[in-house]
Chains A and B, each alone.
Chain A
Amino acid sequence: MLTLQCPYCGVMADETELSAGGEAHLKRFGPGSSDAEFETYMFMRENPKGVHFERWRHANGCGKWFHAARCTTTLEVFGTYSAQVSEPPQDIKDAITAKRPGWAWREFA
């Protein structure tokens, strides 16, 4: 079972205590954007075999949203961090680089 540490309340939460919220760091496009931008925001998703960033909610706990960096092939968790950022903090990036040399942060559309 997947276990993530909630960065707000510090609890090591089992998957059953959490709800998955999909890809993190999406750029939001609203009214006035082009069709292509809106399609990208609404439907196009990064689907990497490897390092992935996601939104999670500590639903059956403190109720807060947070971010997690995770590997989709090994289910290894690189770390969890605040929801109030638009890209992962440096310590998360360093933790990923230590385990996945050559990995690079990319701009998510």
Chain B
Amino acid sequence: MRRYSAFAIAREAARYHTGWERAWASPEPKKKYDVIIVGAGGHGLATAYYLGKNFGITNVAVLEKGWLGGGNTGRNTTIIRSNYLQDPSAAIYEKARSLYETMSQDLNYNVMFSPRGVIMLAQTHHEVRGYLRTAHANALQGVETQFIGPEKVKELVPIINIDGPRYPVLGGLWQPRGGTARHDAVAWGYARACSAMGMDIIQKCEVTGVRRDGDKVVGVDTTKGAIDCDKLGIVVAGHSGVMAEMSGFRLPIESLALQALVSEPIKPCMDVVVMANTVHGYMSQSDKGEMVIGGGTDGFNNYTQRGSFHHVEETVRALIETFPMISRLKMLRQWGGIVDMTGDRSPIISKTPVDGIFVNCGWGTGGFKAIPGSGWAMAELMAKGYSPLANEFGMNRFAEGRFIDESVAAGVAH
């Protein structure tokens, strides 16, 4: 892999940009790998990357039925934060956030991480109490957040209307080190680094079956033939239920459609990320000037990657009171992704009833921010059989009643 640098740009400029090589190779699958990861989204590629970087396991294939980063990795609203209430969540999301800070240097790929700060608005007295509690919990967890009053919110976000009447801004949970990153660059950067370590990233290769020898996994059947493996990592977000059924176990997961939309590009007007959980809406401004707005999930199982229009209407209707200026914006695009929701709204990073199969799923509506931490924990679990970061996220927690209940703790918009 040739490194990207200012020197490389100058060199290529001098020879009409003929020397740029492909960022990652597109090989045909081998007969056998030590580890197969199903799903070349952010989480799957990060898992492969840390398997190689932290544990020296590089005989790895990452299989992707579509194209790299074409699922939820390219469909989210790119928000990165770690202000969670429960200790296990704060630990893994803070690990991820801190890895984002150096990711561009680590991968030699510009992921455009922008630690612009994230505010979660408190618009009811219940939320004020909830976020005060979260701020105290974060102080104990070593996550830098603070509860700020409405005047400070107005200072940080001049376009906001804090007076209500229906949704007054009573304060906010402010995480100055949160922010955004370019989502597809995260997948591309990991893919390039994995390819450079000798891993095979195989796109347009759908897994059609999982082959077992008794209780142990021995390989997968794909649209490009059978491939053997010692360990299998299932990192497929919305399709986790489908893969689990192929593997012969069940997951406490339902797949729903979550939507987002962007406006026409406008001049810079908001340089932080604002989340309003009472009204299920969150907004930031992209580098292109578009206002990026995330909405709520549909209430019913759905694999269609689009959502019901009335959710867009509800989100925008509520946000207009808080941001009156967006009432005149035209919306350019709307899209949906299939999110995998667990009963307690926390992810599953776990061994499974089948020996050698590991799952990383259930990130629901908030997986992008967790990509590096999730890959770090999943790689450790697959290599060593134990990971302190992943330990609390086992799928047995539902049987044991040991929930990591962020659905109550963090509100709906993760």
Contact = CB atoms under 8 A, between A and B. Distances in A.
Given A2-B300, A45-B253, A72-B301, 14 more contacts: A1-B309, A2-B308, A15-B308, A39-B252, A43-B342, A44-B252, A47-B240, A47-B251, A47-B253, A47-B255, A48-B241, A49-B239, A52-B301, A72-B303
Nearest to A14: B310
B254 interface: yes
Contact of B304 (A35, A45, A46, A73): A73
A75 interface: yes
A44 B301 CA distance: 14
B140 interface: no
Contact of B310 (A16, A35, A44): A16
A74 B306 CA distance: 11
A47 B254 CA distance: 5
A49 B242 contact: yes
Contacts of B310: 1, 15-16
B399 A39 contact: yes
A87 interface: no
Given A1-B309, A20-B299, A43 B242 contact: no
A42 interface: yes
A44 B250 contact: yes
A39 to B, nearest CB: 4
- Give the bracket for the number of chain B residues in contact with chain A: 20 to 34
A75 B241 CA distance: 18
B181 to A, nearest CB: 30
B343 interface: yes
Contacts of B303: 49, 72-73
A25 B19 CA distance: 61
Contacts of B250: 40, 44
Q: Which of B254, B298, B309, B310 has the most CB of A within 10 A?
A: B254
B302 A43 contact: no
Nearest to A73: B303
Interface string B388-402: 000000000011000
B208 to A, nearest CB: 13
A97 to B, nearest CB: 21
Given A1-B310, A54-B301, A43 B241 contact: no
A39 B398 contact: yes
Contact of A19 (B254, B299, B343): B299
B302 A75 contact: yes
B363 to A, nearest CB: 15
A43 B304 contact: no
